[in-house]
Structure 1
Amino acid sequence: MSLGRTSLSLPRLAAASDTARAILWMLASGLLFILLNGTLRLLAQQLDPFVTGFLRYSFGVLVMLPFILRAGWAAYRPANLSGQIWRGAIHTSGLLLWFIAVPHVPLADMTALGFTTPLFIMLGAVVFLRERMVAARWVAALIGFCGVLIVVSPNLSGGAGAYGFVMLASSPLFAASFLITKALTRRDAPHVIVVWQSLAVALFSLPFALPHWDWPTPAQWAAFAFCGVVGTAGHICLTRAFKLADMSVTQPIKFLELVWASLFGLAVWGDVPGTATWIGGLVIFASTSWIARRESRKQG
């Protein structure tokens, strides 16, 4: 009897382990993306945003090139090439809209609009990937989003006008890109997906970068190399998280990025978080901690 119980519990233990690892990979990706976005923000203030986007993904390819040459191109040949191309095209579309809007949208408004992406991802995961609509995951996501609004609401200006809708339009495109990524993990390894994402986005964004081309300085080239390393590592962590667990499990964790961003701003620019930031951060942390513990216990 005990042997039967043990054998039956093994798949549940494995699922619990996968969920815990997915959450840790998601946390790691959030930290890396904060470093990436902080550096890209500085670069986009110095160079044309389209040039910045193109070079960011071009360096993503260059970072992976030694690994490709060592393992051979066959190791990076995707099982679903059309899916990789579609993912790159959709992700590029979202990036172009985001870059068009970003000079005109206040930072607080941009933060609030950007955090609609996890909600689109969770909805798409239910509709297109046939993931179960688990009420607790939606509750955690909505509580986390409320935490974001607590942080940004004191500074919301509503002054973005039509550009606010342009930036909002990028959110479902990014969500679609990540949903395709989840589907691609069924047949392709994370490093293959990340390489083809960088290749596709670099190629699709090149025509938009060329009319605005300006050669970076040596310091800017070094910053782009840093973005290539950090961005590639972040996407690999994100893809590993998507491979290990349902997307609706991982999305509430994404709201913690606002907490990391506040701490990053304090460390780099000396921006002292206000009362709303601390309150919202506690709400976000509580929602993500609760869903992480609940998922682990439920599957353990």
Structure 2
Amino acid sequence: MPDDQTSPPYAASAVVANAPPPVLPVGPSGRPDRTGLGIVLMCLTCVIFAGQDAFSRMLGADYPPLLIVMIRYWVFALFVIAMVARQPGGLRRAIRTRRPKTQFLRGAILVIETTIMIEAFIRLGLVATHAIFTAYPLLVAALSGPILGERVGWRRWAAIGVGFIGILLILQPGNTDLNLGSVLAFVCALLFAVYGLLTRHVSRDDPAQVSFFWTGTAGAITVTVLGIGQWEWLAPAAWIWMGLLCVFGILSHWLLIRAYELAEASALQPFAYTQLVWVSVIGVLVFGEVLQPNVVIGAAIVVAAGLFTLWRARQNAR
């Protein structure tokens, strides 16, 4: 993956996914090195993302995933509008984009990915879903050639191949029936990779402020069209969980933006993988999931391959 600030970090949280690029990046020149604080904020963000996934799984057991995503996106869109309105140029600048169709497509893809992710949590569990989802940086590297015309060298192709061996180790297609949740988790990784590539594509013409605005608003419009027919009132207890989910979502996005203001993306992205650790802890302690040896080993292989592709991209950028 390239060393740019529009590349979304690893995160599978239902509005991870909405992990925005920084709205007002701050360079290190002329200021004390604050990379350490940025890394701390990234790790804290990953803890909150893991909590969001737990809330999503709890709510998804009783309510349609589209309903959950729709309510979250309504809150997220308000957050985006309020935040962008405070930036130079305000909403009038944020609406103007040179690629409206691509920007809207990004928002729609993210809504679909977020909805499918919740379904995967229910069918497969948090741990296994995230273990498969970690393949997304490898998919970004593999698809950057045909979609963006970027050159992928043999070293990164080798890392991609090794990463997919790890995915096969997780899935064990020859030993067990392929769970639909596994397919959905891989589809999520593929969709999020496409979303990331489209984000890089529009960043050539639109600033981060514009992409952030379109992510929230286009997503809210799309999910409302798809999910309004499934509207139902949540039970009082469920509204508490939904409220916490929305609060966690706003807090995580604010922390993520602050992290990218304090440190370069290349320094933060490796620490985004800590979300997999926290998700595993929550999955085991809260939901009684079991850490299967093939999942642990396979996830370690995929993460190592992903980190190598990040390192190679950084070397090429230099």
Structure 1 residues 278 and 228: CA distance shift in structure 2, 3 A: closer
Q: Secondary structure at the match of 1:187?
A: coil
Offset from partner CA, 1:107-136 (integer Å, 9 cap, x none): 487557645544443332101211111222
Q: Note if contact 1:57-1:202 (Cα within 8 Å) is conserved in structure 2.
A: yes
Structure 1 residues 177 and 289: CA distance shift in structure 2, 3 A: closer
Unaligned residue ranges in structure 2 (runs of 5+): 12-41
Structure 1 residues 231 and 155: CA distance shift in structure 2, 3 A: farther
Q: Note if contact 2:73-2:220 (Cα within 8 Å) is conserved in structure 1.
A: yes
Q: Secondary structure at the match of 1:215?
A: coil
Structure 1 residues 75 and 298: CA distance shift in structure 2, 3 A: closer
Q: What TM-score do the two structures reach when normalised by structure 1?
A: 0.68
Asked if 1:137 corresponds to 2:121, the answer is no
Unaligned residue ranges in structure 1 (runs of 5+): 1-17
Offset from partner CA, 1:157-180 (integer Å, 9 cap, x none): 42546x876776565444333221
Asked if 1:19 corresponds to 2:38, the answer is no
User: More helix per residue: 1 or 2?
Assistant: 1
From 23, 33, 42, the equivalent of 2:58 is 42
Q: Secondary structure at the match of 1:46?
A: coil
Q: Note if contact 2:138-2:163 (Cα within 8 Å) is conserved in structure 1.
A: no
Q: Note if contact 2:97-2:210 (Cα within 8 Å) is conserved in structure 1.
A: no
Asked if 1:222 corresponds to 2:243, the answer is yes
- TM alignment of 1:51-130, pairs within 5 A: 51-71=67-87, 72-80=90-98, 81-95=100-114, 102=120, 105-107=123-125, 110=129, 114=133, 117-130=136-149
Q: Secondary structure at the match of 1:19?
A: coil
Asked if 1:261 corresponds to 2:304, the answer is no
> What does residue 20 of structure 2 align with?
none
- TM alignment of 1:119-268, pairs within 5 A: 119-151=138-170, 153=172, 157-158=176-177, 160=179, 172-216=190-234, 217=236, 218-229=239-250, 232-233=253-254, 258-266=276-284, 268=286
Q: Note if contact 2:80-2:213 (Cα within 8 Å) is conserved in structure 1.
A: yes
- 267-276 or 47-56: bigger deviation: 267-276
Structure 1 residues 158 and 239: CA distance shift in structure 2, 3 A: farther
Structure 1 residues 231 and 86: CA distance shift in structure 2, 3 A: farther
Question: C-alpha distance in 1, partners of 2:258/2:171?
Answer: 27
Number of residues paired by the alignment?
274
Q: What TM-score do the two structures reach when normalised by structure 2?
A: 0.65
Q: Note if contact 2:65-2:115 (Cα within 8 Å) is conserved in structure 1.
A: no
Structure 1 residues 122 and 234: CA distance shift in structure 2, 3 A: farther
Q: What do you get for the CA RMSD once the two structures are aligned?
A: 4.4
Structure 1 residues 111 and 201: CA distance shift in structure 2, 3 A: same
Q: Secondary structure at the match of 2:148?
A: coil
Identity %: 20
Question: C-alpha distance in 2, partners of 1:280/1:128?
Answer: 27
Q: CA deviation at 1:54?
A: 0.9
